Structure 1
Amino acid sequence: MSAPEKLVKKAGPILCDAVNDEKAGKISRAIIRYKQGIELIAQAMRIMPLGSADRDKIMKNFAIYVRKVADLEYLNKTETEVDQYKIAANSIGHSYQRIFTRCCDAQLRMVHIQDAYIIAHHQLLNFVRFCELIIPLSVNLLVITLKTGEDARKNLTDFDELARSLEKRGVTLQVDFSSTIHDREIIFDNGWVVKSGRGLDYFKPPEGKYVLGACDMNQRPCHETTIDYLKRKT
């Protein structure tokens, strides 16, 4: 039996226990076990050739369990407000590094983004910038999930390109579409929750191609918004 097969076989009973825990209403324990199983499958996928039939087959089941965890983490939480960060209209100095660094650490395994508006080109670029930030700060990150609006289906090719890039870093991207979501929040599975009315899209467009803020988001003026930091308890 190959190393990937051993890892997948080891994950099987853990995931079965997770399913049973969920059915029994033991949601917190189910989430823990789902994550344990997911981590074993992720280890298997990392040592399998990209594009292989066996890997693609495992990926289908992996995606099911990842979405299960994302849905449970959205539903099964209480939140305690920790901090509030206000961004004034036209102010600068509010890059993603300033906003999200506190949420990233070695304990982070999954990040779940819910934002109905990852649709326009600049919104996709914002999502890429967010991924670029959190990956080097979260050395054990396994999964990024995005739930966005139905209109974002037109960007499937772009999401696939980003997924292939992330896969080279050992991170799986899963994108789902919904016609009903409207809230914008990011759940980090180390306990942090970040809520903002504008989500990732709080930067104003640069006023030219060769101006401050064209490349450095810390130099770009922002829309007025408030960002709430919360700690999740399950």
Structure 2
Amino acid sequence: MNAKDILMRAVQCDQAGRILEAQHLYQDGIQILMDLVSGESDVAKKKVFYERIKEYIDRAEQIKDRVQKHVIRGELVTNIPIDDNATGNSYQSLFGKYLNAEVKEVLLEEPYLIEKYQFQNLVTFLELLVKNCRNIKYVRVVTKTDMKAPENQKNVLEQIRADMFRRNVTLSIKFEDTLHDRKIVLSNGYIIKIGRGLHFFKATNPLYSLGLCDYDFRKCLQTDVDIWRTKNFIA
């Protein structure tokens, strides 16, 4: 898409309350406009470009501030301690009831998406999103770069992104190598903070035993799950 189409799409998402996707599209559109203006020799046209760019930058910053305020504010709804070797703690059991038709966008901050089991956990989480949230349109995953095998990481994430696209869900991947905190932010106003992020399940032993597919049968590492409630993104 060209800059005009991307920015029109951004405005549509913005008006529909899908602000994470809108922010992503604004940033893409801004970059294309910046590339165009750098090659423009007409001073008057440059001025018009810069005025439009500033408008979109300001809006993208407003969205960023709104998301940050949502994440910072909120009330603790429940704390779920998980003991070492405990079972019955699948994603569905822990927070599935908060994944509903009101969820249109999700922000997942998960620093570690490197190992095979970590990608499997991500897919399991996304399966639950698509299954429970019939109106889901956009998921942003923020993670660290795999310094040892960055191309493999990108290839796996691209496979997942392409599959989500076929299901009419946009999956955006952002790399932040200083990322430490782990959280799941839902556009309906719930925030899920897990001490170990998505990766608190122990491997099945032996491999082909209960828990291989149904995580309620999996033994867990010790961790805590905090569920917070704040305003939804549209508010």
Q: TM-score range by the shorter chain?
A: 0.7 to 0.9
Gaps of 5+ in 1: 17-30, 41-56
* Aligned-pair CA distance for 1:82: 0.6
Equivalent residue in structure 1 for 2:227, among 226, 229, 234: 229
Aligned partners of 1:35 and 1:69 also within 8 Å? no
Aligned partners of 1:34 and 1:69 also within 8 Å? no
Aligned to 2:69: 76
Deviations 1:114-160 (A, max 9, x none): 01111111001000000001112111101011000122744111111
Aligned to 1:108: 103
* CA distance 1:145–1:73, shift in 2 (3 Å): farther
Aligned to 1:216: 214
* CA distance 1:136–1:12, shift in 2 (3 Å): same
Aligned to 1:22: none
Aligned to 1:118: 113
- The 2-side partners of 1:205 and 1:232 are apart by 34
Q: Is 1:15 aligned to residue 8 of structure 2?
A: no
* CA distance 1:72–1:129, shift in 2 (3 Å): farther
* CA distance 1:63–1:103, shift in 2 (3 Å): farther
Gaps of 5+ in 2: 33-55
Aligned to 1:88: 83
- The 1-side partners of 2:207 and 2:175 are apart by 32
Question: Aligned AA for 2:90?
Answer: S
Aligned residues: percent identity? 27
Q: Is 1:134 aligned to residue 116 of structure 2?
A: no
Aligned partners of 2:110 and 2:142 also within 8 Å? yes
* Aligned-pair CA distance for 1:15: 3.0
Deviations 1:149-189 (A, max 9, x none): 12274411111111111111110000011111100001001
Equivalent residue in structure 2 for 1:205, among 203, 206, 211: 203
Using the size of structure 2 for normalisation, the TM-score is: 0.72
Aligned residues: 199
Larger Rg: 2
